[in-house]
Amino acid sequence: MKKYISDLRLVSTEELSSDYFLLKFTRNEPLPDMLPGQFVEVKVDNSPTTFLRRPISVNYVDKGTNELWLLIHAIGDGTRVLSALPVGSVVNMVYPLGNSFTMPEKASERLLLVGGGVGTAPMLYLGAQLYSQGFHPTFLLGARSASGILQLDHFERFGEVFCTTEDGSMGEKGFVTQHSVLASKPAFSRIYSCGPKPMMMAIASYARKNNISCEVSLENTMACGVGACLCCVEDTQKGHVCVCTEGPVFNINQLKWPI
Amino acid sequence: MTASGTFGYGPEFSDFIDVARLGAVIVKGTTLHHREGNPYPRMAETPSGMLNAVGLQNKGVDYFAEQIYPSIKGLNDNIIVNVSGSQIEDYVATAEKVAHLDGVTAIELNISCPNVKQGGMAFGVTACGAAEVTKAVRKVYPKTLIVKLSPNVTSISDIAKAVEAEGADSVSLINTLLGMAIDAERRKPVLSTVTGGLSGPAVKPVALRMVWQVAQAVRIPVIGLGGIMDWKDAVEFLLAGATAVQIGTANFVDPAVTIKIIDGINEYLDRNNFSSVQEIIGALEV
């Protein structure tokens, strides 16, 4: 896929929850096609401690309004600067980068999309794409508490949504791997996941035990985003590969995770 | 030129720029045998720069010659291979193989990589070691031989003079500065290798000083690099005595930066009524 470098204009910023922001960007020309699982490298200006671009997952692409949505967890200097940008700000981005989630083979497949924290971001766009292709995905979203469950209304447009929270303030109490939907019949045939590594490893372990195809999206620390610096490598069955070009999406069978 | 290890093999950037317009593309550090490099994490962002500890991950010179080179031949008129190793025989064997590739106009001998356990920088930190490896490679490599110098030394001019005496056609400097990052909360080093190489604008003043010193000390052309982010940085290196410059870490921040720098240098020359870039090389008024 051709990659672009261009300025995008910030249309709106919405604080979804404490430290979680939804930023919508546009540009004059129509945005290029982007695939679920891909990411953009965002340049952060006016932040002396932020030298490198920030890799951010595509949360959603609204073709109708020509908007790119990015979900940001403002935990570092770079993401805090991005979350505080005034509407109308011009932000330079390199996009779309990385591979994408594998679309299901059969219409009858039962699909589970598991997201945790800001890792739910790519699950929305994946769910939207699956829905538009006639699939009925099931979403399982996990967070520490209810305030961490983001974009629930958007997820509900594309499939059935279940939640877990560690404090029980929304959905079932506990972790995503303990949710009762995992035991529902017929069994899921495919799981997609993005979130904290311990969560993805637990999901991967569940998928392997139950012989379910499973893809996870990694977020290794990255510099260039285009496969030049070799900083973001993951140790795989093929050796060290760049998460930015060979990933960020990997089938769990490609990884050397101890699951 | 693009600095080794910051531009892949070139095609990674062809969506963003016309790679043919660059003075040269210096490809990723190449060794005799396949190297997996160091474990993740390999990178730490630092104030105005970054540390890396990639450890020369590459598939070896044979894979480069057979699989990569045919696909990048013609991408740029000057493809330069950065050659690294852990013992002299490896450097020699790799250089011999690269010498057979018509489209490769030069090699850059990497005696300054701080991220490999044996060799690499070990050769580059003494005048004797640098001379020894240069001499051995000079015997088997008839085309342009550039030696990339380490800044992690007491007197970089002495090293430059030593490799000049053994027949190097040019020196490039600086490679990364040995550094370290610590995660205070976890009380652990950020990099898997504990230490790594610092690059980016943080190192520019050190690089400028070293380029200035080496340009005074040798007659062969000096290629300047280290933290160049824009045309103005590049002009500063030329004024300090560099005949050419390499752009490294800046490629990670802006994949189109190299072309902007070329255009910026040209505009600077026009604005100041210089008819050629030659007129500003070493033109610093002290």
Q: CA-CA distance, A235 to B253, in Å (whole number)?
A: 25
Asked whether the beta carbons of residue B40 and residue A53 sit closer than 8 angstroms, the reply is: no
pLDDT < 50 regions, chain A:
none
Query: If you ran DSSP here, which 8-state letter would residue A1 be given?
Result: -
Asked whether the beta carbons of residue B36 and residue A240 sit closer than 8 angstroms, the reply is: yes
Chain B CB contacts of A230 under 8 Å are 5, 28, 37, 42, 54, 57
Confidence grade of residue B124 (pLDDT, cut at 50, 70, 90): confident
What is the model's pLDDT at position B118?
56
Asked whether the beta carbons of residue B12 and residue A48 sit closer than 8 angstroms, the reply is: no
What is the model's pLDDT at position B114?
66
**pLDDT surpasses 60 at B119:** no
Residues 71-110 of B with CB under 8 A from A: none
Chain B CB contacts of A51 under 8 Å are 45-50, 200-201, 253
Percent of chain B at pLDDT > 90 equals: 94
Quote the pTM value: 0.96
In this prediction, residues B90-109 reach a mean pLDDT of 97
Asked whether the beta carbons of residue A230 and residue B37 sit closer than 8 angstroms, the reply is: yes
Say how many CB pairs under 8 Å bridge A and B.
Answer: 92
Fold of A111-217: Rossmann fold (3.40.50)
CB nearest to B41's CB, from A5, A221, A227: A221
As given in the structure block, the two tokens for residue B1 are: 């030129």
Chain A CB contacts of B13 under 8 Å are 226, 228
Q: Please, what are the domains in chain B?
A: 11-37+54-176+199-280 (3.20.20.70)
Q: Is the ipTM of this complex over 0.90?
A: yes
Chain A CB contacts of B41 under 8 Å are 220-221
What is the model's pLDDT at position B113?
67
| Residues A230/B42, Cβ–Cβ less than 8 Å | yes
Chain A CB contacts of B57 under 8 Å are 230, 233, 240
What is the model's pLDDT at position B123?
85
Query: B189 touching A, CB under 8 A?
Result: no
Q: CA-CA distance, A23 to A117, in Å (whole number)?
A: 16
Query: B64 touching A, CB under 8 A?
Result: no
What is the model's pLDDT at position B117?
58
In this prediction, residues B165-193 reach a mean pLDDT of 97
pLDDT tens track for A140-174: 999 999 999 999 999 999 999 999 999 999 999 99
**What is the chain A residue with the closest CA to B40?**
A233
> Which of A84, A59, A53 minimizes the C-alpha distance to A71?
A59
pLDDT tens track for A70-96: 999 999 999 999 999 999 999 999 999
Query: A221 touching B, CB under 8 A?
Result: yes
| Residues A224/A243, Cβ–Cβ less than 8 Å | no
- Least reliable range by pLDDT among B100-109, B112-121, B158-167: B112-121
Asked whether the beta carbons of residue B8 and residue A53 sit closer than 8 angstroms, the reply is: no
Three-state DSSP at A89 gives coil
Query: A238 touching B, CB under 8 A?
Result: no
CA distance to partner chain B, nearest, from residue A238 (Å): 10
CA distance to partner chain A, nearest, from residue B218 (Å): 32
> Which of B118, B103, B37, B44 minimizes the C-alpha distance to B72?
B103
What is the model's pLDDT at position B122?
78
Fold of A4-97: Elongation Factor Tu (Ef-tu); domain 3 (2.40.30)
Chain B CB contacts of A235 under 8 Å are 39-40
**Residue ranges of domains in chain A:** 4-97, 111-217
What is the model's pLDDT at position B112?
79
CA distance to partner chain A, nearest, from residue B46 (Å): 7
As given in the structure block, the two tokens for residue A219 are: 């977020």
Other CB atoms within 10 Å distance of the CB of residue A153: 7
| Residues A244/A227, Cβ–Cβ less than 8 Å | yes
CB nearest to A5's CB, from B8, B12, B255: B255
Per-position b or e across B131-164, b if 16+ CB within 10 A of its CB: bbbbbbbbeebeebbbbbbbbbbeebbebbbbbb
**pLDDT surpasses 80 at B121:** no
Query: B54 touching A, CB under 8 A?
Result: yes
**Axis-axis angle for helices B204-217, B231-240 (nearest 10):** 30
Q: Which has more confidence, A106 or B216?
A: B216
